[in-house]
Chain A
């Protein structure tokens, strides 16, 4: 049976993804690494390409660091009451729910 990753490990994987996405962005557009950083929607840091980048990089980071394959770009993610990409905290929370 797989052990459940800690919230800290999940947040670390998300931050790894944010670091990688930031490399694709010019300095003025980079995303702050903080749980309350808004990602999409009003006041969000990401455009549609940035959102795709974060989905891809988060999936890869979770697989590398936590050994689990997840899908953040499917219909289930889009249908959540609170969109997973609303903020870094909601993204980490959604990943936690997927890994349970």
Chain B
């Protein structure tokens, strides 16, 4: 079913409907019609018909002159008070912030003027009379005012105007139909609206799998040796490969993992990565690799599974169109962008991809590659030690449990929306909706951080409960696959049971909602000690009995929550800051 998009605008946006509905670019969005020119009344009236449609996304697209009379005066070359201009922006921003909870995301395209409008020419950036100068200040002010608002984002509309090959403003569309932008601009706007929706829903791609020869460097390393590769130096192609690698490295700082899937001798390829002086990406920048002569499709499936990711998280980049076609045919979930034949276009081709857009960027995202490398070290250690329990004990795991708060809400929401395998009900909520749910009477949410001697896995667990009469229902049991199977999930159940015991509740129960991906959750529940119903869909614990914290972990419970818990072995209060 298509998601619903309401677009409030002071011009006719009906042409967006087809672009938004386009199934070739998911998700399909159904445009909820509203009368144009009614932006402020609709923003200020929560009972308006468009809000009763319960939109999934709200787009508020206005022209600067329609929102700010002071800007309209500037367009007429009249004098305008800069302070009044910003006050008008503030007033509009307040109205936008007011609708933040009415849909999962609120998107506000920035204000623009047509590129062919010269404005005041040399004086157009003048701080008092310049039109573009004023517009920049208005957009900057709007960005500042909207930044703290939950799930509210600006979309850079100037980019759409500069990307279209046709003039962004078509007078015939405007004078005959009050359409303020050419249809090419609307097409690009729809693409960005969809990218934003995917980002808010946690559907950003997380793993880029790269070919090597012809993709990461020029030449065939197995034939010519790493010393002769086209990479860096005073050579256009060499510079482009280096720039491409820089852009890939930048992606890792926004939470995207890199991997290699290449037909090569592994030792030869890794030698090039380690030795070539112009390589930007080194072995440590890759979360994993499959460098062999096997089928790339199988290698992608294997490597993705090793990294505990789904195939819908993967982007595959390869200069060879035959390999690209093979992957498209074999694994349709993997995004395989058309790739330019000209290496000089590689860096741009990468930054043009919208599949990496995210709505939040946490510390865990920035450090994801390091987290995966730590995990690889743990696996090596596990193989060395042999006994699983011994290995767990050797990790010196500390689990920090904190109540849901403003500081951890974005990461908790991200986890809730991205996690598939260890997820009890797979419910998806926006920041605003999760916070609103957590504030309801009888509801409680916690986040879990896991640290061990190899480093921190960051915030990787989310638990929520709801009191129902004398029972406690576990609503969300969400755990990153990075730490799954390390007794963190048992610690989560222990937390829920301790909470119930602190309130003298009779039972704790969890209802498992199956999805194609969350079988690991069922497996855990079946061996958790909770009693299952015959259909293995509901699991129950008698809260008169303690559910002990696993001996392999130490729990730090934040002070704010500790008063709610009956003391239990293994639960230590965090030291006061």
Interface of A toward B, CB cutoff 8 Å: 20, 22-27, 29-30, 48-49, 52-53, 55-57, 59-60, 73
Residue from the list B18, B179, B187 in contact with A26, Cβ < 8 A = B18
Whether a CB of chain A sits under 8 angstroms from the CB of B15 is yes
B224 within 8 A of A: no
Whether A25 lies near B17 (C-beta < 8 A) is: yes
Q: Chain B interface (Cβ within 8 Å of chain A)?
A: 12, 14-19, 21-22, 166, 170, 172-173, 176-177, 179, 183, 186-187
- Interchain CB contact (< 8 A) of A23 among B22, B170, B177: B22
The verdict on A27 contacting B177 (CB below 8 Å), with A49-B12, A49-B15, A56-B170 known, is no
A53 to chain B, nearest CB (A): 7
Chain B interface, >50% SS class:
helix
Q: In the bound complex, what is the Cα–Cα distance between A7 and B470 (angstroms)?
A: 80
**With A29-B18, A49-B177, A59-B172 already in contact, 19 other A-B pairs whose C-beta atoms are closer than 8 Å:** A20-B183, A22-B18, A23-B18, A23-B22, A24-B16, A24-B19, A24-B183, A24-B186, A25-B17, A26-B17, A27-B21, A30-B18, A49-B15, A49-B179, A52-B172, A52-B177, A55-B172, A55-B176, A56-B183
Most buried by B among A22, A52, A55, A57: A52
B35 to chain A, nearest CB (A): 14
Shortest Cβ-Cβ A-B pairs, 6 listed: A24-B15, A24-B18, A52-B177, A25-B18, A52-B176, A26-B21
Query: Which residues of A have CB within 8 Å of B18?
Result: 22-26, 29-30
Best-buried of A24, A56, A59, A73 by chain B (most CB within 10 Å): A24
From residue A27, how far is it (CB to closest CB) to chain B in Å? Answer: 7
Contact of B15 among A30, A48, A53, A55 (CB under 8 A): A53
Residues of B within 8 A of A26 (CB): 17-18, 21
Do B17 and A24 touch across chains, with their CB atoms under 8 A apart?
yes
Using Cβ atoms and an 8 Å threshold, which residues of chain A touch B179? 49, 52
Contact yes or no, A73 B166, CB < 8 A: no
Question: Bound complex: CA of A20 vs CA of B19, how far in Å?
Answer: 10
When distances are taken between beta carbons in the complex, the residues of chain A under 8 Å from B166 are: 60
B177 x A57 contact (CB < 8 A): no
Report the minimum CB–CB distance from B169 to chain A (whole Å).
12
| Set of chain B residues within 8 Å of A60, measured between Cβ atoms | 166
Name the residue of chain A whose CB is nearest to the CB of B2: A26
Q: Shortest CB–CB separation between residue A90 and chain B, in angstroms? A: 20
21 contacts between A and B (CB under 8 A): A23-B19, A23-B22, A23-B187, A24-B14, A24-B16, A25-B18, A26-B17, A26-B18, A27-B21, A29-B18, A49-B15, A49-B177, A52-B173, A52-B176, A52-B177, A53-B15, A53-B173, A56-B172, A56-B173, A73-B172, A73-B176
